[in-house]
Every structure is written in structure tokens, then in C-alpha cells.
Chain A
Amino acid sequence: MMEQNKKEKDWFDSPNIVTYVIIGLLIILILASQSFAIQNRLSFGEIFRSIINHNAIYFITLIYFVLLRFKIGKKYFDYLNVLMAILYLLLSFASVFTIFQSFGLASLLNLALTVVLTLYFIYAFICNTVIGKELKISNTPLNEIKNQQYFSIICVLLALILVVDLIAATDFEGVVISLLEVMYQVLFARYIYLYKEYSDTKAKRRKESLKQEEVVEEKEEPVMEKEEKTNVEEAPKEEKTEKITEVKIEVEETKVEEGKQEEEKEEPKKPRTRKKKEEDKGDEVK
């Protein structure tokens, strides 16, 4: 049954396939934007200023996902997530300044998307780590929105961005790049969603196992208590008999002691009586 369930799993529900697709998409996106720039006969300065700036974030996320396929990436997964969170914070900071550069619907939507993505990333990956617990991120309003809601907000924002980009696109290259970007960002959001689902189900399983352990302990406790009670009930009988015998012995001992004391008491009385008799006799003689 488990194997069948695994086979029935959709590709977008499997983190393995999602990460592979993201890696493929990122490679295509970087190569396509570079080749379009060269095709359009952009100068070195323009490529350096615009294309590298555009592709830097994709290149860093590509390194992140490639590292996840290796042992080092798996071992330092939390460290990589902290770096990615810093990167996304920088991106949101940059998108704030982009609004001053060119104010418009596209830049506003981009700001909203980067801010939500950053918050979602911190909510999913940093909340359950040591730093997240020490900073008490789970008590912040971040947890007010659920995993599914975050994902749907991002999807809606991406759909709006796609519409705006497609309307503004003047050439084929622009359409291709904007489509690839939206696809990558949906998959990235899906990756975050899957991780949060995984960590939530894991936490639930832990709670359930703890509850089960408690229930088993509670079931065992009454049996133990009954056994203890029966032991306690049996014990007084034995104690009673023991006590009775002890009391009997004590009574006997006291009787013996009293008898001795009486004897001792009686013995000194005799000389006194004799003395008294002698004194009486002496008085009579006098």
C-alpha cells in the first residue's frame, strides 16, 4: 500500500523531482538570458551591469539546489537556509529601492512578491531551527498565515506579475524570460510549501507518538496501582496478625514484669512488718 501511495504521488508533491526541475529551469534561464543579451549585441558593460545583476540571484539559488544534492549541502542545510534568508532580505531591500528607480505596477508587485517570499522562507525554514526558537519566531504574526495561504498568495502575485510582464513585453525574448521566471518562482514556492508540510507532519507524528506513549503509561498505571492496592490490602492482614502476636508477647512480657515487680514489692514489705512487730514488741516491753 505504501509503495502504491508513493507511486501515485504527483511530481509536484515530490521534493526530489521539484528540486531537479528547479535546477533545470535555472540553468535554462541563466543560459537563455545570457544568449539573448549576446544576440542583441549588448556591450560588456551592459551585460555586466544588467544581466549579471539579473542572473546573480538565480545563480546563487542554483548553487543552493545543487548543494542540496550532495552530502555537504544536506549536512549544512540550516546554514544554507540562513544564507538564503539573508539573500532574500537583501533582495527585498533592493526591490524597495527599485520602486524609487522606476515606480510602477510591476515594481510594486515585485516588492510584494519578494517580501512575501522572504517571510515565507523564514516561516518555513528558520522557525524550527535553534535560532528561530531562541528568537521566538513562532510567536510572531508570521504564524498567523498558514502554509497553504502563503503558497496561494505567492501564486496570485506571480499570476499578476506574469500578466503585467506579458503586456509590457515587446519581444519574444522578454516573453520567454518572464515565463521561465514565473515557472521557477512557482516551483521555489512549492519547494518551501513541501518542506513546511514535511516538518508539520513530522511534528504531528511526534505529538501522536508522545500521546500514545502517555496512553500506554496511563493504561499500565491502573494495573500497577491495583497490584499495589492488593499488596497494600494483603499487607495489613499480615501486619494485623503480626501486631496481635507482638501485642500478645508484649502483654505476656508486661505480665511477667509486673509479677516480678510485685514480688520485689512484696519482699521489702516483709522486713518492714517484722521491724514494726519488733518495735511494737519493744514498746510493749518498755
Chain B
Amino acid sequence: MKDLFDEIDQERKELPHLKNIQDEVQKPRYHNFYQKLAFWLFVFLFGVGIVLGNLFPSCSETSNLFSTCTRTEYNLTLTVISWLISFVFCSMIYAVGEIISLLTSINETLKKRK
């Protein structure tokens, strides 16, 4: 049987360089109101997710006698789920902003032609 790490070493694909990722992310773009709103709303909902995980903790230990929670822990699942939902919601708002910006650019080009 071949060693697992040898097999991985033969087939593994290298990670992309950080510079390439930075260049892709930091492309100069104009953001309209909806896109800015989507970004700041996501930042806010990110914080809300952390608060939710603290507000509704999960139980890691219960007492048998009264079946009450004796030890609680931070609810990471709730936080991650809220992050995912807020990401989807904010990306929808961002997409609306993108559609509006495309329509305005089409309108401007049509006006110029006239």
C-alpha cells in the first residue's frame, strides 16, 4: 500500500499566489449606492451573527434530574448560518445594484447615439 502523503505529494495542486488574488480583488471599480449599502449591511449582519451565537448558546451539558442545561457554549453553527444567510441577502442587493449600473450605462450610450 502506497503512503498517503506520497500520493498527495504526487497529485497536489499548488495554491495561487497572494499577489494574483490581491490584483483580482483590488481592481478599481465604481460602486453605486446599492452596492455600497450591500457591503456595509453585510458588515453589520456579520456582527449580528456573532451576537446571535452568544444570545442563543447551545447546551453542552445537561443535568439528568431536572433536564436543565448546566453548561452552555457559544453557538457557532447559528453564527455561521446567519453569516451565510446575510451573505446571500447582501449579494442579492449587490446584484440589483450591478443591474442598475448596467442599465444606466446602456441608457447613457443610447442618449449619446441620439
Contact = CB atoms under 8 A, between A and B. Distances in A.
Interface residues of A, number: 47
B73 A98 contact: yes
B72 A102 contact: yes
B54 A97 contact: yes
A106 B70 CA distance: 13
Contact of B18 (A52, A135, A194): A135
Contacts of A230: none
A78 B58 contact: no
Interface stretch (A126-134, A182-190, A213-221): A126-134
Interface string A164-176: 0000101100100
B77 A79 contact: no
Nearest to A20: B4
Contacts of B5: 15, 194-195, 198
A198 B73 CA distance: 36
A283 to B, nearest CB: 105
Contacts of A195: 5
Nearest to B63: A170
Identify which of A71, A76, A94 gathers the most chain B CB atoms within 10 Å of its CB. Answer: A94
Contacts of B13: 75-79
Nearest to A134: B18
A34 interface: no
A171 B78 contact: no
Contacts of A71: 11
A16 B74 contact: no
A168 B74 contact: no
A77 B14 contact: no
A91 interface: yes
A53 interface: yes
B77 A56 contact: yes
B16 A130 contact: yes
Contact of A52 (B1, B8, B14, B77): B77
Interface residues of B, number: 40
A50 B58 contact: yes
Given A102-B73, A107-B73, A195-B5, A79 B79 contact: no
A16 B3 contact: yes
Contact of B4 (A19, A57, A78, A102): A19
A248 interface: no
A53 B71 contact: no
Contacts of B60: 50, 54
B12 A77 contact: yes
B1 A16 contact: yes
Contacts of B9: 202
Given A129-B15, A134-B18, A16 B53 contact: no
Interface string B76-97: 1111100000000000000000
* A-B CB proximity, top 9 nearest: A97-B74, A53-B58, A94-B76, A53-B77, A15-B4, A50-B58, A74-B11, A94-B74, A98-B73
Given A95-B74, A101-B73, A170-B63, 13 more contacts: A16-B1, A40-B62, A53-B73, A56-B77, A57-B76, A94-B79, A98-B73, A101-B57, A107-B71, A129-B14, A131-B15, A135-B18, A168-B61
18 contacts: A15-B3, A16-B1, A46-B59, A49-B75, A53-B76, A53-B77, A54-B58, A57-B76, A76-B13, A78-B14, A94-B73, A97-B50, A97-B54, A98-B74, A130-B17, A130-B18, A131-B15, A195-B5
